[in-house]
Amino acid sequence: MVESLEMQSDVTAGSRLLTVENLAIRFKNATANTVDGISFGVDRGETLCIVGESGCGKSISALALMGLLPMPPAEIASGRISFDQKDLLSLPAKTRADLRGDRMAMIFQEPMTSLNPSFRIGDQIAEGVLRHRAVSPADARRRALEMLERVKIPAASERLDDYSHQLSGGMRQRVMIAMALANDPDLLIADEPTTALDVTIQAQILDLMRTLQQETGTALIMITHDLGVVAEIADQVAVMYAGKIVEQGPVQAIFDDPQHPYTIGLMSSLPSLGERQSRLTTIAGMVPTIDRMPSGCRFAPRCPFTTVTCEAQAPALSAVSDRHLAACHLAPLENHLAEAL
């Protein structure tokens, strides 16, 4: 696996597809930004996983990338999103819609509800093709069939005229993937695509996504809360907490050398499949709500290592090593805390 990923990076290396700079999203009447100045980039063919617990702003960021964030009540408070050298936020809505489903596509968490129950799935796939390509309906339908076959739906030609409720959850997610990839997008955003699925089906879908990504060279942003999924599919990882990216870097670095106390806490909270621990280490407290957002480091109230500085000043995301960034005043911990102890 590692080999194949490297091979792929070679092919497309250095070609930046998407850059997000200092993106902040705020909801009407909120006292703090829900997403607070996040920056990251995705290269062509690369997989970025954004990981975090519910309410950390990862899904909202993804919707903002797609231009699907309902505005109002949400608004982009600041930042830049450039996609393929285009400044997305300054594009007129129509032009953004032209990109959507064509150059950038998205799939969602709930395969059960993400397909329109009133239309046949073939038509739903073909619709996106017709919207963006000058093809005949028959060609679009042919493309839909081809896509269903690519996502390995058995008896695809018969399934073309099915309604979504006739499919299982896994099959629906395959259809969603087919729909998203029908126009060969440069970027696919997947928002918790496997969370609602059973573990064996989850493995199938992840497998499929990876295979298709290798075939098409599509860049992938995967939103997830599941570190297992991250470990399996990511090239790059961004860990989000309370609207901020707290740590960011290549997957290996994040897992082997986590820097931010939140990342460490998250990993500690997971029951191990290895040796049985007597107790799980936890992260105390809970995620702050938007109206009680701490002014300094947003993780400070829950962090075991909080200092006065942490409460006063939000740490910037700074490099720990090449491409590995962490937003902690005390990173790396062992250096700072050795003295404190």
For residues 12-51, which are near other proteins according to CB under 8 A?
A: none
The least distance separating other proteins from the CB of residue 27, rounded to whole angstroms, comes to 12
For residues 51-70, which are near other proteins according to CB under 8 A?
A: 53-54, 66, 68
The least distance separating other proteins from the CB of residue 216, rounded to whole angstroms, comes to 17
Task: Draw the binding track, 117-156, toward other proteins (x: CB under 8 A; -: no contact).
Answer: xxx-------xx--xx------------------------
The least distance separating other proteins from the CB of residue 207, rounded to whole angstroms, comes to 5
For residues 230-249, which are near other proteins according to CB under 8 A?
A: 230-232, 234
Give the nearer residue to other proteins in terms of CB position, either 36 or 191: 191
Report if residue 308 touches other proteins, rule: CB under 8 A.
no
Please tell me the count of residues contacting other proteins according to CB under 8 A: 97
Query: Given the rule CB under 8 A, which of 37-45, 83-91, 115-123, 308-316 is the region that contacts other proteins?
Result: 115-123
Nearest to 19 by CA among 36, 42, 35: 42
Residues 184 and 179: their CA atoms lie apart, in Å, by 10
**Locate tokens 């300094």: which residue?**
296
Distances (CA, A) of 166 to 120, 153, 158, 265: 10, 13, 12, 42
Query: Given the rule CB under 8 A, which of 35-43, 141-149, 250-258, 318-326 is the region that contacts other proteins?
Result: 250-258
**Can you tell me whether residue 250 is helix, strand or coil?**
strand
Nearest to 42 by CA among 82, 99, 97: 82
Rounded to the nearest 10 degrees, how much is the dihedral formed by the CA atoms of 16, 18, 23, 28? Answer: 180
Report if residue 176 touches other proteins, rule: CB under 8 A.
yes
Report if residue 290 touches other proteins, rule: CB under 8 A.
no
Report if residue 264 touches other proteins, rule: CB under 8 A.
yes
The least distance separating other proteins from the CB of residue 219, rounded to whole angstroms, comes to 16
Residues 313 and 299: their CA atoms lie apart, in Å, by 11
Contacts of 129 (CB under 8 A, 6+ apart): 135, 139, 140, 143, 144, 182, 183
- Amino acid identity of 59? S
For residues 197-216, which are near other proteins according to CB under 8 A?
A: 198-204, 206-207, 210
From candidates 273, 308, 322, 339, binder to other proteins by CB under 8 A: 273
Report if residue 297 touches other proteins, rule: CB under 8 A.
no
Give the nearer residue to other proteins in terms of CB position, either 33 or 263: 263
Residues 254 and 240: their CA atoms lie apart, in Å, by 13
The least distance separating other proteins from the CB of residue 246, rounded to whole angstroms, comes to 13
Cβ atoms of 144 and 174 closer than 8 Å: no
Distances (CA, A) of 64 to 79, 80, 125, 180, 278: 11, 11, 23, 17, 42
Query: Given the rule CB under 8 A, which of 6-14, 19-27, 29-37, 108-116 is the region that contacts other proteins?
Result: 108-116
Residues 181 and 171: their CA atoms lie apart, in Å, by 15
The least distance separating other proteins from the CB of residue 270, rounded to whole angstroms, comes to 6
Residues 86 and 35: their CA atoms lie apart, in Å, by 22
The least distance separating other proteins from the CB of residue 297, rounded to whole angstroms, comes to 14
The least distance separating other proteins from the CB of residue 220, rounded to whole angstroms, comes to 15
Report if residue 3 touches other proteins, rule: CB under 8 A.
no
What residues are paired with 81 via a beta bridge? 20
